[in-house]
Structure 1
Amino acid sequence: MSDTERAADRDPDHGPGTGSDARRTERGDPPSSALVPAVGTVLSAVTAAALLVPVRRGVDEPTLQIAGALAVVATGAFLARRHALLERRRAGPIAAGASLLVVVLSGYVITQGVLGSAVLPGLGWSISLLFTAFFVAAGSVGVGVADYVGLSSRGLTRRASHMAEMFVLAFVSLFGIAFAFLFLSLPLALVVGEPTPLQETLVEYASTVVALGGVTIGYLRLRGRDRSFIDLEMPTLRTVGWLVGGVILLVGTNTALGSLLSAAGAEGAEHTTVQQVAENPNLLVVIIPAMVFIVGPFEELLYRNIIQKSLYDTFSRYGAIVVASVVFTSVHISAYSTAGANRILVSLALLFVLSLILGALYERTENLLVPALVHGCYNAAVFLIA
């Protein structure tokens, strides 16, 4: 592919294919233009309520009060846009910016151990109002951006549907790993009896290959695509440069953000594999090569080459990177499940930023080899120094 073709393909409004054509026709649809800010109004209003209820109940946290005020600002911007009191080029950035600050501030409050739990009337279920505000505000950010670019209700629905499809695909792969592990463990148990930790680890990585590889093949066939959809190119000196730079960038970003979060009093959770290594260091003999040759390549195959690249059909390139990173981060919640909610959120925030970098590496190089090896080498380095 020439540089001109690459540039055209990266342009969210002028790239080739039906995806970019669909994006152009979904923008500026006057009959449904009020629906997008209406959705934003509902989301931001729910966010404001979820933040202000704990304040009314006596939670003395200034950050929470600021977040609540910003949620009200976002609600006002969406309302003004819906009633034509403010044009979308102004309302969208105000609503999206205010909502993004709500995500950051509510996330910070959660890391300090404040959850604002409430019991749902009639159900007896306890939910965290701050987590509700965090996730709903994230949705408001997306709607604010959608309104800013003039997306119609049809375009918003199409993107939400495509995003849901990618979530389903990711969680199918997650459950697939569990089922593959059970399937592969049975013959091992029949042959050797109680497996050793080393044998279980080997089966775990074999399950990753079977599940992620199987889901990838199945999805490609379902969508009528062949192996040409997989972006693999022979390594060059340029590839090596991207690899070295990518690993350095990931390690540097993780170190800088970790220090920043520690200074803010936020502590992350340990990955379950790190806990396994702490209990049995001999597992590193399997884990280190598996990170480089299995986890990195197969996770990037699914989350970058399949999910992110598929999202190019409905989202801009940058939008696809963000959505794919949200999906990637979500399926890793179970890997930190042994810690408290506040520590899990810190770890997931770090993982999200690192996923954005991997997504950008894939988008810039259009070569799966780069994010696959950067991901694998970074993971291996983490376990070596842990």
Structure 2
Amino acid sequence: MNETARADDAGPYASGAAPAVGTVLAAVTVAAMAVPVRRGVDDPIVWTGAAFALAAVLAFLGSRHGRIDRQLAGSIAAASSFAVVLLSGYALNQGVSVPVTLPAIGWSISLLFTAFLTAGVATGIGVADYFGIGGRGLKARGLQVTLLLVVGLSGLIAAQVATILLALPVFAVVEPPLSQLQAVVLSQFGMAFGTAAVAVGYLAVRQFDRSYIDLKLPTKRDAAWTIGGVLVLFGVLFSISLLFQSTGVESADHSTAQQAQENPEIMLVLVPAAILIIGPFEELLYRNVIQKSLYESFSRVGAVVVASVIFAFVHVLAYGTAGPGQIIASLTVIFGLSIVLGTIYERTENLLVPALVHGVYNAILFANLYFTYA
């Protein structure tokens, strides 16, 4: 954690904030994992998850009351909470949900999904406790992450709005409804305009000029990062796919794959769009704007991780027709790939490199879909 990231955490008051918040979150996680056990869910994954959640509670309590070294307690709490994230996500993927109805409003929620969410946040709080992040630091980081999540989601919404606005003049010369191919072309232009508008709008509000955008002429080093990045992305995809296959994890199909089955010719549009639109504009927003903004409050590693969580989260709608367990698996893949792209951007500080890596990676996937279904 760099000095900038620690500057707002001075003072004795702040020291107990992280373990206090972590204790509450971990306790909720324990309850969410223990209730299924009490209901007779005989699944070792759930039992193990409950045990890890309890370990996180004890670690946070030990840190809060000075019984355990703060860094040791933070490490245990973060590791235990992350284990619950993995176990609850796996259980959801295998069809173990354990729904419960909220009496006041009549909504049904999954206890294991609740545990997945609270354990995820508790993992971050454990890391914060390890680094001695206090109350003001937690608040500042929480607000920034929330703001940048809204920015990321705004990019998604703006793309849809821009597509609709672009469609209006198109309808003056093309009789609706548009063909699927025409709609895809329009959506790509909408994605470019909408995402760019959000990125430029954010920079304007923050009073950053064009120098904030890290566009530079590529060097030989950048070329090496580009080639290596594409290879690493496919290596990560292969490794995660192999892990899923060996553990019986099922992922969801991306909406693009579903479109390819219906009309493979769409991929002929998306291959160049991946390099010219998808890669550049997504990297502009999620790396050059969101990840770079996170450098203000997080370490470089922390910023890459948090930006990747945001990047994965905004892809939820692309897998909206699947169950929560399958969506979590697919977002795990997105998160892993985003870590690679974020690291490439952090190392090169040249937007062109992750944009090209992202675009080439997507283009190869789209080309493969075309040859699969054509």
TM-score by length of 2: 0.96
One-letter identity of the residue aligned with 1:354: L
- Partner in structure 2 of residue 332 of structure 1: 315
Match of 1:195, SS state, is coil
One-letter identity of the residue aligned with 2:112: L
Render the CA deviation track for 1:131-180: whole Å, top value 9, x for unaligned: 11111101111111111111110011100010001011111111111111
Asked whether the equivalents of residues 213 and 298 of structure 1 are also in contact (C-alpha less than 8 Å), the reply is yes
Aligned mates of 2:111, 2:167 — CA distance in 1: 41
One-letter identity of the residue aligned with 2:248: G
- Partner in structure 1 of residue 345 of structure 2: 362
Asked whether the equivalents of residues 268 and 367 of structure 2 are also in contact (C-alpha less than 8 Å), the reply is no
Render the CA deviation track for 1:192-226: whole Å, top value 9, x for unaligned: 11211111011100101111110111111100101
The answer to whether the aligner puts 1:322 opposite 2:305 as a matched pair is yes
Question: Which of 265, 285, 288 is residue 305 of structure 1 equivalent to?
Answer: 288
The answer to whether the aligner puts 1:263 opposite 2:246 as a matched pair is yes
Question: Which of 278, 290, 294 is residue 261 of structure 2 equivalent to?
Answer: 278
Question: Which of 137, 151, 157 is residue 155 of structure 1 equivalent to?
Answer: 137
Match of 1:352, SS state, is helix
Question: Which of 125, 129, 147 is residue 143 of structure 1 equivalent to?
Answer: 125
The answer to whether the aligner puts 1:206 opposite 2:189 as a matched pair is yes
Aligned mates of 2:343, 2:200 — CA distance in 1: 24
Aligned mates of 1:29, 1:115 — CA distance in 2: 43
- Partner in structure 2 of residue 6 of structure 1: none
The answer to whether the aligner puts 1:89 opposite 2:78 as a matched pair is no
Runs of 4+ aligned structure 1 residues displaced above 6 Å come to: none
Question: Which of 91, 102, 105 is residue 109 of structure 1 equivalent to?
Answer: 91
Match of 2:308, SS state, is helix
Match of 2:9, SS state, is coil
The answer to whether the aligner puts 1:13 opposite 2:25 as a matched pair is no
Residues 162-171 or 29-38, more deviating? 29-38
Render the CA deviation track for 1:280-326: whole Å, top value 9, x for unaligned: 11112211000111001100000000000000001110110011001
Asked whether the equivalents of residues 28 and 150 of structure 1 are also in contact (C-alpha less than 8 Å), the reply is no
One-letter identity of the residue aligned with 1:371: P
Asked whether the equivalents of residues 89 and 328 of structure 2 are also in contact (C-alpha less than 8 Å), the reply is yes
Aligned mates of 2:312, 2:30 — CA distance in 1: 25
Aligned mates of 2:218, 2:17 — CA distance in 1: 48
Question: Which of 122, 136, 142 is residue 104 of structure 2 equivalent to?
Answer: 122
Render the CA deviation track for 1:28-74: whole Å, top value 9, x for unaligned: 52112112110000000001111111111111110110010110110
Backbone CA RMSD of aligned residues: 1.1
Cα displacement (A) at 1:25? 2.6
Cα displacement (A) at 1:87? 2.0
Query: How many residues end up aligned between the 2 structures?
Result: 368
Render the CA deviation track for 1:245-275: whole Å, top value 9, x for unaligned: 0000001110111011011111111111111
The answer to whether the aligner puts 1:185 opposite 2:174 as a matched pair is no
Asked whether the equivalents of residues 188 and 195 of structure 1 are also in contact (C-alpha less than 8 Å), the reply is no
The answer to whether the aligner puts 1:295 opposite 2:295 as a matched pair is no
Question: Which of 26, 29, 36 is residue 54 of structure 1 equivalent to?
Answer: 36
The answer to whether the aligner puts 1:378 opposite 2:361 as a matched pair is yes
The percentage of aligned residue pairs carrying the same residue is 49
Residues 328-337 or 29-38, more deviating? 29-38
Asked whether the equivalents of residues 162 and 193 of structure 2 are also in contact (C-alpha less than 8 Å), the reply is yes
Aligned mates of 1:235, 1:148 — CA distance in 2: 38
Aligned mates of 1:248, 1:205 — CA distance in 2: 26
Asked whether the equivalents of residues 6 and 137 of structure 2 are also in contact (C-alpha less than 8 Å), the reply is no
- Partner in structure 2 of residue 218 of structure 1: 201
Match of 2:252, SS state, is coil
